């Protein structure tokens, strides 16, 4: 059975959405096999959002640039650069600050196609583009433009691993083997 990591971020925790979020995954047939509430250390946050993952960093920068273009805004004017890597590094820094700002609920879910299923339930990374019925579509409407203007990451409530390699890495980062239940 496939496993995936989901992190209920500080914005969702502070809004009291842990139960609702967990319920959506369980109702879809995903089984909870590990859970803990923790305020992540900066070290853990940097390992979770590493600057060495150039593709990840530049991907965040490109998403921001695309949103600026869609809205007819000048990214260089707002962010001081139009380089996707530089923008991605700014966002990564804000993500570190945010995920360490308060408690998160880290959970491991297991089931058939757990990674894809969890991401479908979670919704589009940019909440304003998330479909109604998804967690992000129902509980957030944040955008990169708003977040960048406030020099913070997008408040999108939940992190869900993107693929098997990422899920395996993240599960081992957040949990010991003894913490995983069968």
Question: What domains, with CATH codes, occur in the chain?
Answer: 2-175 (3.30.70.141)
Give 32's strand partners.
109
The Cα 9–Cα 6 span in angstroms is 9
Please give the positions annotated as active site: 159
Determine which helix (DSSP H) or strand (DSSP E) holds 109, and give its type and residue range.
strand 104-111
Are 158 and 9 in contact by the 8 Å Cβ rule? The answer is yes
CB 1 within 8 A of CB 20: no
Q: What is the pLDDT of residue 128?
A: 87
> How much is the pLDDT for 39?
98
pLDDT (0 to 100) of residue 147: 86
Token pair for 48: 């979770």
Q: Tens place of pLDDT for every residue, the chain, 182 residues?
A: 999 999 999 999 999 999 999 999 999 999 999 999 999 999 999 999 999 989 889 998 998 898 888 888 888 888 889 999 999 999 999 999 999 999 999 999 999 999 999 999 999 998 989 999 999 999 998 888 888 888 899 999 999 999 999 999 999 999 999 999 98
Burial of 144 per CB tally in 10 Å (0-12, 13-18, 19+): buried
Q: Could you tell me the two tokens for 95? A: 């993500």
């Amino acid at each position: 059975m496939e496993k995936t990591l989901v992190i209920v971020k500080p914005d969702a925790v502070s809004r009291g959405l842990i139960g609702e979020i967990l319920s959506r995954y369980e109702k879809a047939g995903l089984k909870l096999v590990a859970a803990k509430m923790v305020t992540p250390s900066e070290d853990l946050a940097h390992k979770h959002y590493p600057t060495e993952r150039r593709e990840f960093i530049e991907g965040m920068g490109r998403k921001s640039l695309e949103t600026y273009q869609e809205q007819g805004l000048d990214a260089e004017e707002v962010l001081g650069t139009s380089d996707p890597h530089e923008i991605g590094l700014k966002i990564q820094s804000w993500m570190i600050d945010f995920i360490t700002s308060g408690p998160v609920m880290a959970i491991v879910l297991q089931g058939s196609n757990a990674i894809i299923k969890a991401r479908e339930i979670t919704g589009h990374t940019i909440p304003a583009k998330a479909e109604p019925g998804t967690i992000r579509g129902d509980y957030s409407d944040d955008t990169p433009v708003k977040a960048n203007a406030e020099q913070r990451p997008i408040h999108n409530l939940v992190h869900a691993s993107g693929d098997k390699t990422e899920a395996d890495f993240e599960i081992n980062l957040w949990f010991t083997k003894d913490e995983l239940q069968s």
